């Protein structure tokens, strides 16, 4: 079943039909962890969807922060998008080279900046290539375009807000990391961080929301995954992960099932795991906790 929604998720068929639309802007937002052994920029230079611009998650970020790829100030986002020729009146489609991994982070970032006409390519560049669709190695011709930004502060949370939510239980915190990392059984990929999870959080590894071909599961199946993990969907949600990238896969899935009261903890475990004053739990999520 195709679930084409230009505000959340579109299929490769949809993108192929709209590829020449004058107001379509395609972004390659590939980003990889060091242990993946891949170079996102060189892969983009070698082959990308026709017309795609490269979106560097580490560059379009807050350079004043010691934390990785935190959301940038409004002015920086606007200037980077102008330079990429992305602005008002454009339909944006974001993809990545892993299937559905980092593209959702850029979807969330656009939503944070008040942009709603943005979707993730379901199955990403992997599916596009597997289907034998056109690729190119030439950079697109870019013309400046102004973007009006209205930051949606309710879509992001900081460590103080998350600590309060953990203590009060008035939000459902959902962690996209792997189960061993959530339990504290596996070491964190970033040095110096404690192991475990935010007290009261639930674990929904982002991969459990995807099919074998890295496309997103259908809405009923997504809802079932959240419920099986003990997520209370009646509460507003805060998504989290290692550094705020795969948390956005959870945010996208929540949006797809019609849950709009979600925010993302931008610092995620890169921040929480290093803060000595906030509590850490280990083991599986306890039943009946907040």
Of the candidates 28, 68, 70, which has an alpha carbon nearest to the alpha carbon of residue 47?
A: 28
**Which residue in the list 9, 241, 247, 248 is annotated as catalytic?**
241
d(CA 215, CA 208): 11
Helix 219-228 with 247-256: angle, nearest 10 deg: 120
Distances (CA, A) of 131 to 20, 53, 111, 157: 18, 21, 29, 39
Strands lying side by side in the sheet with 237-240: 156-157, 262-265, 237-240, 172-175, 202-203
Of the candidates 122, 69, 131, which has an alpha carbon nearest to the alpha carbon of residue 94?
A: 122
241 is catalytic: yes
Note the Cα 214 to chain centre separation in Å: 14
- Tokens coding 191: 């040095």
Active-site residues: which are they?
A: 241
């Amino acid at each position: 079943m195709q679930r084409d929604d230009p505000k959340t998720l579109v299929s490769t068929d949809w993108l192929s039909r709209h590829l020449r639309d004058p107001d379509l802007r395609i972004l390659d937002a590939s980003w990889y962890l060091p242990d993946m052994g891949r170079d996102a920029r060189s892969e983009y230079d070698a082959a990308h969807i026709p017309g795609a611009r490269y979106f560097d998650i580490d560059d379009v970020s807050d350079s004043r922060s010691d934390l990785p790829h935190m959301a940038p100030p409004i002015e920086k986002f606007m200037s980077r998008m102008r330079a990429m020729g992305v602005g008002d009146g454009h339909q944006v489609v974001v993809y990545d080279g892993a299937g559905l991994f980092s593209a959702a982070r850029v979807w969330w970032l656009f939503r944070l900046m008040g942009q709603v006409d943005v979707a993730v390519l379901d199955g990403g560049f992997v599916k596009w290539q597997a289907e034998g669709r056109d690729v190119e190695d030439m950079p697109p011709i870019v013309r400046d375009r102004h973007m009006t930004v209205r930051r949606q502060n309710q879509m992001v949370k900081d460590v103080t807000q998350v600590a309060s939510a953990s203590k009060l239980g008035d939000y459902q915190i959902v962690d996209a990391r792997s189960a061993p990392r959530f339990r504290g059984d596996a070491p964190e990929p970033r040095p110096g961080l404690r192991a475990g999870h935010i007290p009261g959080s639930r674990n929904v590894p982002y991969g459990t929301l995807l099919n074998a071909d890295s496309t997103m599961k259908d809405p009923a199946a997504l809802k079932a995954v959240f419920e099986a993990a003990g997520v209370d969907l009646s509460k507003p949600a805060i998504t989290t992960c290692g550094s705020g990238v795969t948390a956005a896969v959870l945010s996208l899935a929540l949006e797809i099932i019609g849950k709009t009261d979600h925010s993302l903890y931008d610092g995620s475990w890169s921040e929480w795991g290093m803060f000595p004053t906030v509590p850490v739990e280990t083991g599986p999520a306890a039943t009946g906790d907040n």
